[in-house]
Structure 1
């Protein structure tokens, strides 16, 4: 199983997504510090919102296989600059959350691709839409030779 780090704005759905993927349900709460839920590393939104805390994201990513930039489907501006993913020496994917609340995901998808996401997943932790595809992706870990 791939170990994934979630980064994104406060209230983008990172903790709910981590809980649903690992436990099948969510304990809705505000993440105050870096937390590990099974094979998912959940980071506080403040770490992505404050450039002075980027170092913590970079260091934390060293212990993961993949970094996931997370955006709420309803966001109308991004905090991920173009090519943000280049800062990580890991595979970087994009996850658009809250698909059930906003069917227009075009802005979030475009923003994540411009930021350098290699692959996109459009999900809803509440309806389960897109979660199986993400789980399948996470279940496959390439072996080093």
Structure 2
């Protein structure tokens, strides 16, 4: 399985997606520090939201095979700078979270566009609470390189 590092703002669903992928009960708690699991690295949202932590993301990424940038479907705020993926040497994918809360197709498309502009090579659309789209991400992570 490819080891993935999740990067996204506070509340986007990184920890919930981690729990879903690991088959754990979904329990919300605020990630205070980088959490390392066998095939997942869960980063605090503050590491994206404060540029002074970009170096920590870059260094931590050396432990990952792929970087997952997460954007919430219902959040219209611009999260990632254009070309953000250039911070990493690994493949960067995009993950639109909370698709069950999207207000419209236009909101989903805005999230997709943001991930493309950040440099995501492909995009997955997920609802961790509804278990939608999670299998597609699992298949990608378990596929042979």
Contact 1:83 1:115 in 2 (8 A): yes
Contact 1:19 1:37 in 2 (8 A): no
Tell me how far 1:103 sits from its aligned partner.
Answer: 4.9
Separation in 2, partners of 1:108, 1:25: 27
Unaligned runs of 5+ in 2: none
- Aligned residue-pair number: 142
**For residues 61-140 of structure 1, what are the structure 2 equivalents within 5 Å?**
61-104=61-104, 105-140=108-143
Separation in 1, partners of 2:77, 2:103: 16
Change in CA separation of 1:113 and 1:50 when aligned onto 2, cut-off 3 Å: same
Greater per-residue helix proportion: 2
Which residue of 2 is the match for residue 37 of structure 1?
A: 37
Which residue of 2 is the match for residue 50 of structure 1?
A: 50
Once superposed, which parts of structure 1, at least 4 consecutive aligned residues long, lie more than 4 Å away? none
- Match of 1:75, SS state, is coil
Unaligned runs of 5+ in 1: none
TM-score, scaled relative to structure 2: 0.94
**For residues 11-30 of structure 1, what are the structure 2 equivalents within 5 Å?**
11-30=11-30
TM-score, scaled relative to structure 1: 0.94
Pairwise CA RMSD:
1.1
Cα shift readout 1:66-118 (whole Å, capped 9, x = no counterpart): 00000110111222111110110000000000011115311111100011000
